[in-house]
């Protein structure tokens, strides 16, 4: 949901999800949270760009330019 899975892991997850009602319910429950996180990330990146700062320069989290956009702790 947050883009943290490799392609093969994502495919396996989707395969499992298709037949697991419990996981489908969890995904449905977590979807609003994932959307909120994505919105915050987007606002933060837009603000950083408008200020001329790189996207890995704020909040103790780093997004390296070559990591596919995943945040690192």
Q: How confident is the model at residue 32 (pLDDT cuts 50, 70, 90)?
A: very high
| Rg of the chain in Å (alpha carbons) | 15
Are 64 and 72 in contact, with CB atoms under 8 Å apart?
Answer: yes
Question: pTM here?
Answer: 0.54
Q: How confident is the model at residue 39 (pLDDT cuts 50, 70, 90)?
A: confident
Q: Which residue has the higher pLDDT, 40 or 70?
A: 40
pLDDT of the residue at 61: 53
- Average pLDDT over the chain reads 79
Are 32 and 40 in contact, with CB atoms under 8 Å apart?
Answer: no
Overall average pLDDT of the 32-42 stretch: 87
Q: Is 63 left (phi over 0), alpha (psi -120 to 50) or beta?
A: beta
Residue with tokens 């419990």: 22
């Amino acid at each position: 949901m947050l883009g943290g899975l490799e392609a093969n892991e994502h495919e396996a997850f989707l395969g499992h999800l298709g037949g697991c009602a419990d996981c489908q319910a969890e995904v449905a429950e977590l979807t609003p949270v994932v959307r909120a996180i994505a919105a915050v990330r987007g606002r933060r990146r837009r603000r950083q760009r408008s200020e001329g700062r790189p996207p890995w320069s704020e909040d103790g989290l780093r997004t390296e330019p070559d990591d596919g956009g995943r945040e690192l702790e």
